[in-house]
Chains A and B, each alone.
Chain A
């Protein structure tokens, strides 16, 4: 009898030696005369445990992790292929608290299946959403997505169904579906995990969107820093086309970015797809009216499109019953930085920041105290412990001077210097600015200089006033979120951690 063994092929697993683990398992099985089928599944998203090896046994799948290639001989001697006892044995992965506590609607298949097996995809509920959608009229599909309460997961939080209705109503012989997979925010990796672990789900979501608005062609724009996701999506599209459910009336292709953070902004992304510098467009016109090549275009984040198959197959109510306030459904939160348990944690909106950081992520892996948490990527605010009661909800974060963004949470320990984080935010904005609008292009460079003067103690009060004024100008005057949101990390660092900017040294005085 052949034993099925799972070793993730995810980039984060390969980066810690998964290929070597797979090789060691294959040779150890050969040497022991055991017949195995090695599956390179996607990651389950708990990256701390990578490489997470799983073995199928009569009692279900048994996990071992984190496994290094040097552990393999010992594991095999301990009966790895029968699920034998070993210090690295984790039991059934579903029972690991980090995974057991999630509500996985979008990431239901991540880590369970062979990402490029259509048989696996169908066996685990794949394509039910598309089948349901094709039985409905386009307007009914858009209405169902609207009823689910799904809001854009890229960060802006605009209702997805309304965007689709706008494109459906826009006249035009040619319409496009564009998937924004330019996941450039540090601390976010849910798009990457999804594309690597369950690429057919994104293809299915885009096919549903195409039916809903009458689009005939689509693009998945993936950043070049994600070579594994590019390979998986390209292969999945080819397989879906060969299988016949893609390519009849709607087809799509992968396009690769070229190292420009600003191309995650939707209009810069469209410029880039058209073959130009990734410079932001002024709105209006909205992409829904005049998007790619001037045609009506749905542009959605990976996670928005990937949430749609569930909504179609299980119903808008099933999705909408999860959530908090006006934030409906689940959000795949990404726990990163100095954390004990890091990875993708999909959960209904409403969990507090403190529960996530202290309880689910387990605090700092370094053993130090948590000092600051940046939520929402490089353009998100730094929150101190005093704000850890903030629930994960678009409106609640806005009310506290922050943003959810793409759901990335980066935890910093007590060695962090928030003045240098604020300076980095301005520096990053200066490096990545597309150059189109002045507040962003010039304001960011002036911002670096002003922060340097404040930290050096030069006319501190006056320069803080200049920084506040500059941030206000960038916030109100920039064309897009790059210049417009860079003030969030800067001002939150200054407001919540003034002692790092050479102010009254509250922290040391208290010690």
Chain B
């Protein structure tokens, strides 16, 4: 991925590296903060993080790709993470997924070509007695059936 040099992003990365580099086990907290600040962990950040933490690029790349949370590209403008784990299955998450897919034209796991919306699976939000549950742009929603599900489907297609 080639991007024009972005000095603001460079500065942000330097600040975050300076904040975390002396903590034991600094890599995960640093990657979380980088992603929070830049929207993702861009490929060109990896060698700089590796150098700062005295790790190989392979080690940092290995960590970025191991964990589901870390992304190499910015997310869609809107992200719906629908819980697809057993307790939500028992409460009808497959029906909720079908409803949202029909409304948005996206299967669970897909992102719209214009990056307006992602419909992602997530495995357990701990809302297992109130499912189907989801995080809609980081806001938790539960009991996704009937009118609540209709409202979410309508909101996503607006």
Q: Chain A interface (Cβ within 8 Å of chain B)?
A: 11-12, 14-16, 47-48, 50, 183-189, 191-192, 224-228, 255-261, 272-278, 293, 334-339, 342-343, 365, 374, 377-378, 408, 410-413, 416, 421, 424, 428, 432
Contact of B90 among A224, A255, A410 (CB under 8 A): A410
Q: Which residues 18-45 in B have Cβ within 8 Å of A in the complex?
A: 24-29, 31-32
Q: Are B27 and A408 in contact (CB under 8 A)?
A: no
Q: Are B90 and A16 in contact (CB under 8 A)?
A: no
Residues of A within 8 A of B85 (CB): 186-187, 378
A411 to B129, CA, bound (A): 10
Q: Are A47 and B129 in contact (CB under 8 A)?
A: yes
Q: Are B127 and A189 in contact (CB under 8 A)?
A: yes
Q: Are A11 and B127 in contact (CB under 8 A)?
A: yes
Contact of B126 among A226, A335, A338, A412 (CB under 8 A): A226
Q: Are B28 and A187 in contact (CB under 8 A)?
A: no
Known contacts A15-B140, A188-B126, A189-B126; A260 and B67 CB within 8 A of each other: yes
Given contacts A187-B85, A259-B69, A412-B89, 17 further A-B contacts (CB under 8 A): A11-B140, A15-B133, A184-B124, A186-B85, A226-B126, A257-B67, A258-B31, A258-B69, A273-B28, A275-B27, A275-B28, A276-B62, A334-B129, A337-B86, A337-B128, A365-B91, A432-B123
Q: How large is the interface on B (under 10, 10 to 19, 20 to 34, 35 or more residues)?
A: 35 or more
Known contacts A15-B141, A15-B142; A421 and B27 CB within 8 A of each other: no
Q: Interface readout for B109-148 with A: 1 if CB under 8 Å, 0 if not?
A: 0000000000000111111111101000010111100000
User: Which label, helix, strand, loop or mixed, suits the secondary structure of the A interface?
Assistant: mixed
A363 CB to closest chain B CB, in angstroms?
Answer: 13
Q: Are A14 and B62 in contact (CB under 8 A)?
A: no
Residues of B within 8 A of A191 (CB): 126
Q: Are A16 and B142 in contact (CB under 8 A)?
A: yes
Can you spell out 12 A-B residue pairs with CB atoms less than 8 angstroms apart?
A184-B124, A188-B126, A225-B122, A225-B125, A255-B29, A259-B67, A260-B66, A336-B131, A338-B91, A342-B130, A410-B128, A412-B90
Q: Are B24 and A293 in contact (CB under 8 A)?
A: yes
B136 CB to closest chain A CB, in angstroms?
Answer: 10
Does B1 interact with chain A (Cβ within 8 Å)? no
Query: A185, A278, A374, A432 — which one has the most chain B CB atoms within 10 A of its CB?
Result: A185
A188 to B90, CA, bound (A): 14
Q: Interface readout for B47-66 with A: 1 if CB under 8 Å, 0 if not?
A: 00000010000010011001
B65's closest neighbor in chain A, by CB? A277
A39 to B126, CA, bound (A): 23
Known contacts A337-B90, A338-B91; A258 and B127 CB within 8 A of each other: no
Query: B88, B129, B143 — which one has the most chain A CB atoms within 10 A of its CB?
Result: B129
A191's closest neighbor in chain B, by CB? B126
Per CB-CB distance, the 4 closest pairs between chain A and chain B, nearest first, are A342-B129, A275-B27, A337-B90, A186-B85
Q: Are B26 and A338 in contact (CB under 8 A)?
A: no
Q: Interface readout for B77-95 with A: 1 if CB under 8 Å, 0 if not?
A: 0000000011111110000
A413 to B90, CA, bound (A): 7
A424 CB to closest chain B CB, in angstroms?
Answer: 7
